[in-house]
Structure 1
Amino acid sequence: MKRTIKILITTACLICLLFPSCKKNFLDKAPGVDINEDVIFSAKVQTEKYIAGMYQLGMPSIFAMRPADMGLGTNAVASTLGILSTYVNLAGITDEAINSQSNDAAPSAWNNGGVTNANILQEDLRYYLRWQAIRTANILLERIDEVPDADVTYKNQVKGEALFFRAINNFEMLKRYGGFPLVLKRVTSLEESKIERSTFETCVNSIVKDCDDATAFLPLDQSGATKGRAQKGAALAVKARTLLYAASPLFNTASPISSFGNAADDKLICYGNYSLNRWKLAADAAKEVLIWAQTAGYSLIDDPAKRINTISPTVVNLVVGNYRDSWERNDNSEIIIANKTWGSKSAGQFPLPMLLPRSEFVPNSGAGWNGPSITFNFVRKFEKRSTGLPQDWNYAGGNDLMQKYGELDPRFAQSVIFTGARMHKAVVRTPIGEHTPSKSALNSCQGGHWNLKFVNDGIDGGTGLEVNCPILRLNEMYLAYAEAMNEFEGPGNATALDITGANILTAQLPIIPNSALDAVNKIRLRSAMPPISTTSTADLRKRIHNEWDIEMYMEDHRLWNCRRWLEAEIDGNLKGAVWGLVINKLNDVTPYPTAFSYRPFVFMTRSFPTRLYLHPFVLTEVQKGNLKQNPGW
């Protein structure tokens, strides 16, 4: 539809410009860089290559990345540039999943409390790329007006894109570290690169300003040759995400959860005071995105015919629904901007091995890599579709597993592969628990489920359907508005609609919500879930958090939400018991078993030290002398 840009592979000359020196001086000016710049800004066609590099290196990803995926060649080449690679899905450090093999460094370090200031970049793979993207943006802002064959409209668009990339990369720093060194212009010397951390508030204000300035430059939407590039909505969404994080308990406080021991330094990692109005600013920013979307022709996917509220979990046919469409269909109406690194892929091609089980466990699935087994911690978040209340799982076990599954929120079957469920068109049913589980078989799928989300049913790569990697979506903005408005003024009054029974398949809620309840129920309605009705801020907060968990599953939100809500240390989130299901067939009905027993069990106990609410800066950067390390590290 609207966002189908293909990122160009940058030339060797461009790579030299993007990486002007070794990782130890990532802001230094490179020898000969002016000559390369003169070529780049001599004509629009050359500038476009440079902009393509900014997209390739500056766009975040919700999936694990390798250097080859980023156009950087082999691991050996990338390592000289300070860029690490990962072969694991980082959902495995949250209550969403556990990696199907436990010997990988990144999730193991998080799960056992072994994260240090020496290995933190196993998570923050793009740390050095982020600075290069910011440098690229600063150079574009400095020199774009020099391009002789570019008109004012094009130059303004590029300025907006550069500001957007500076903002989104700065946000990625903010959510991990708190305040960070702000680099708002080209750095040309080693001394000039020794920039100290700015306060948290200063960093937030800088990101918001870049987003506001970008909005003034960017077009309402992108079309034609520029489809897929940043538009006003992308900048507005980064602003909304930033202000939501800034209003959250981790940062919107007088006393950080881990303190430096003095008020001045604590302002590096929090505001140093609490303000209710920060929630209002976050709500207003999210609403601004929804208003833009209505004007620009974007909308939440909600076809009443696909508000599926009856699913037979024993049927091997494709499970459909609005929620599945929202993550499976590329360039759909609710994707504001996406990472377009990947084209059409087969099961064994990245990033799908990070989403699917290993092929030794399920043939025709994810090759020999490390896909996630989905935990019972996550599955038990799905409510009953009939009542909107929690499912009554028996922790002593039971023989009614398929009945339990069949009663759940329709998003369950559109997110998770359970026993007997379809994985994709080459694996129409998945035999979890159909054999008495040996120790090795149990260890391969300890959670009792595999992941479905972002696994396109046309997985053989012959359909032309790309792997979808959304970065900013409208469903997030509805949840952000609901959360912020609930904190600012409470649930409010839901729009007067009788949304019960059959009416749930045709009822409508306003595109621009009038209250927190309107916004969260807009999300639930498209999946035929009963609306939430409460007058309690605390109750609605809990329900909204659960909606974040379900709706944004596998989209790299859970880790950061647990931290910003100060909920990482709650048992079963990022700390404590990780639950799975032992599953066994109860009959041999032809052609497939139809009855299964289940028994919940704890297969891991995770650690989460309080200091890990913020990342430590990598040790080699702190040793340069300009960065004050976060508390506890």
Structure 2
Amino acid sequence: MKKNSLIISTAIISTLFASCVKLNRAPVDDYAPEAYFVSEQAALQNLASAYQYAKMSGFFEDGDGIYMDDISDNAYCPFTNQLPSYIALGTATPAKISGAAYVDLYRTYFDYKGIRNDNFFLENVDLVKTMDKDKATGMKAEARFLRAFDYTRKLMCFGGVPLVTKVLDYGEENSIPRSSEDDIAKFILSELDTVSQILPVTRSGDEYGRVTKGAALALKARLELFRGDFANAEKDSKAIMDLNLYGLADNYEGLFWEENQGKVARDKEVILEVTYQQPKWGSWIDGLYTVAEGGWNSVNPTQSLVDAYETKNGKAITADPTYNADKPYENRDPRFNASIIYPGLTWNGRIFNSLQPVGPDEYYNSSKGNRSRTGYCLRKYCAPLDHLPVGDPTLAQNLNFIVFRYAEILLIYAESLIEQGKDLGLAAGAINQVRARVNMPAVTEVDQAGLRKRLRNERRVELAFEGLRWYDMKRWKIGGQVMNGPVYGVRPGTVDMTTGVVTWSSPNHITVGAERVFNENRDYYFPIPQEDIDADPALQGHQNPNW
């Protein structure tokens, strides 16, 4: 299956955005829309730039969604020059982000270049008089989806933001106030209602990777769940299920490996993914790999997440008498082994040892900057080297990033029913479909509180490192509970480098870095970057509370 038909035209992008600044302002030079919309191919190139600037990916500097887990209880950011470190420690400020060299979530998600590109496309695509009108309408629906996606993320992170639906004339950007969170949500949902009736149900061949009806419904359901509109989240997630197009991939770990892309056994779960095709536009995943593979270990799984994976008996480790604390990695939910590298694991032909300064020195207490501070490393997305088509993880890859997949839809459907207190059997059934894929026992709770607890843990382990945990913490209002205090990692010990057997020297887990601080009166919203407030008088005096 050919991927990524919308290869980005870097010449067009660099020219078009050379003069773009805050809040969607039009270029101040003499470039005219007629220069960019001269043919259907030119329109496609402009649409391609809209896809790129939407930054739907989770990879490094291309959306950074995976790194959102670093500001949750799932993971720890080991680098003090990355904004997630400031956020988790409670030391970020609207102005301090100027010192965040990488993974600048505030600037990335508040930026309006993507919105401007969408509006520019919508206002000018009809200049291509030779293009079929239905095709133009479909392309407009894609741009409207991308704009809705961008505003959804802004709403989830910042609350109310300036609502800009046209290309602004010079100077107009200084007079656009924040719209309310409710008004932004109404706009997004209305747009998605409309485009879901226009977008095609499927894409194939050269069009694979472009948005569909299912993607529009998935974004709508995700936002409705976030907003607590459970009735509509139920309706839209069920509408996706009723399309009868999607299913669960046969192999959970293989879902995130490049070598399986284009195979029905994997792709049937994918509703939308950002597609890559190096060398023109490759995905960079070296930030996720271990030291031995030349990686940066930018996402360190926490002990809290490790403990969230049930035993293979379907019980929490605290509730299963068969769980052995001295053999903590045995007999666990298969998603644990598919997601996390742990001491004693045979990985890429070696025994992984983060407990001692041996081999490639992945010791958690080493002076090496790229080691994992928690002693755990990321396995999700990180195919073993003999399954990595490019071979070297430090080079650009063709690994796609999944934006929406069917397992999330099943869990949205289940949670929507649980929170409405209705059809709890159907809710359990949806959860159990997700669990059955990895041969985990069915949940048997029949009450709302019990199912809610199981659902929340199921989301955590199934969707770990997919950039959704912080949003779940926010809507469940558990940030103060799970984000204040020390971060824990492995227990000290030794690893037999022949057998992989771990011998622990202490019952206590290591603590990692400074204690985290989460202010519940502040930290459920990102601050608007100070430079944006300084540049826009209409934003001054309208920072998020307590920032």
TM-score range relative to shorter protein:
0.7 to 0.9
Correspondence 1:550 to 2:461: yes
Q: Identify the match of residue 118 of structure 1 among 65, 73, 95.
A: 95
Distance in structure 1 (CA, Å) of the matches to 2:15 and 2:423? 53
Is 2:540 the counterpart of 1:613?
no
Q: 1:465 to 1:186 in 2, by over 3 A?
A: closer
TM-score, normalization by structure 2: 0.86
CA distance in 1 between partners of 2:173 and 2:106 (Å): 25
In 2, the alpha carbon distance for the partners of 1:300 and 1:189 equals 49
Task: Report the AA paired with residue 401 of structure 1.
Answer: D
Tell me if 1:407 matches 2:331.
yes
CA distance in structure 2 between the aligned counterparts of 1:419 and 1:54, rounded to whole angstroms: 43
Question: Tell me, what secondary structure is at the counterpart of 2:248?
Answer: coil
Distance in 1 between residues matched to 2:333 and 2:413, nearest whole Å: 22
Q: Contact conserved, 1:344 with 1:467, CA < 8 A, in 2?
A: no
Could you tell me which residue of structure 2 aligns to residue 159 of structure 1?
140
- Structural mapping, 1:291-440, within 5 Å: 291-292=242-243, 294=244, 297-301=245-249, 303=250, 322-328=251-257, 329-331=260-262, 332-341=267-276, 343=278, 351-357=284-290, 359=291, 363-366=292-295, 369-391=296-318, 401-402=326-327, 404-423=328-347, 426-433=348-355, 439-440=365-366
Give the RMSD, CA atoms, in angstroms: 3.0
Supply the AA of the counterpart residue of 2:211: A
2:374 and 2:490 in contact (8 A); partners too: yes
Aligned CA distance change for structure 1 residues 108 and 434 (closer, same or farther; 3 Å): closer
Change (3 A) 1:41 1:88: closer
Distance 1:18 1:214, change over 3 A: farther
**How many angstroms apart in 2 are the aligned matches of 1:323 and 1:11?**
35
Give the structure 1 partner of residue 16 of structure 2: 17
Whether the aligned pair in 2 keeps the contact of 1:455 and 1:467 (CA below 8 Å) is: no
Matched residue SS, 2:193: helix
The yes-or-no answer on 1:33 pairing with 2:31 is yes
Equivalent of 1:288 in 198, 219, 239: 239
Q: Is 1:564 aligned to residue 475 of structure 2? A: yes
| Partner of residue 431 from structure 2, selected from 510, 520, 524 | 520
Q: Which residue of 52, 56, 76 corresponds with 2:52?
A: 56
Indicate if the aligned counterparts of 1:88 and 1:370 stay in contact, CA closer than 8 A: no
Task: State the partner residue of 2:537.
Answer: 625
Contact persistence 1:491–1:534 (CA under 8 A): no
User: 1: distance between equivalents of 2:270 and 2:389?
Assistant: 24
Deviations 1:331-363 (A, max 9, x none): 521111112246499xxx963222122x2xxx2
What is the CA distance between 1:168 and its match in structure 2?
0.3
Alignment deviations for residues 79-124 of structure 1 (CA, whole Å, 9 cap, x no partner): xxxxxxx89944332222223x443241331122111112458223
1:596 aligns with 2:521: no
Distance in 1 (alpha carbons) for counterparts of 2:80 and 2:23:
33
Q: Is this contact kept in 2: 1:356–1:372, CA < 8 A?
A: no
For residue 625 of structure 1, what is the amino acid of its counterpart?
Answer: P
Long gaps (5+) in structure 2: 99-103
Counterpart CA distance in 2 for 1:9 and 1:470 is 19
Q: Counterpart amino acid of 1:577?
A: P
* Whole-Å separation in 1 of the counterparts to 2:54 and 2:496: 53
User: Equivalents in 1 of 2:40, 2:79: separation in Å?
Assistant: 49
Q: Aligned in 2, Cα 1:389/1:105: closer, same or farther, shift over 3 Å?
A: closer
- Give the Cα separation in 1 of the matches to 2:453 and 2:532: 39
User: 2: distance between equivalents of 1:542 and 1:42?
Assistant: 55
Contact residue 187 and residue 193 of structure 1 kept, 8 A = no
Aligned-pair CA distance for 1:596: 2.8
Which of 42, 53, 72 aligns to 1:94? It is 72
AA matched with 2:8: I
After superposition, the Cα gap between the structure-2 partners of 1:388 and 1:125, relative to the gap in structure 1 and judged at 3 Å, is same
The alignment-based identity, stated in percent, is 26
TM-score between both structures, scaled by the size of structure 1: 0.75
Sort the Cα spacing of 1:584 and 1:117 in 2 relative to 1 into closer, same or farther, 3 A: same
Residue matched to 1:480: 412
Between the two proteins, the alignment pairs up a number of residues equal to: 517
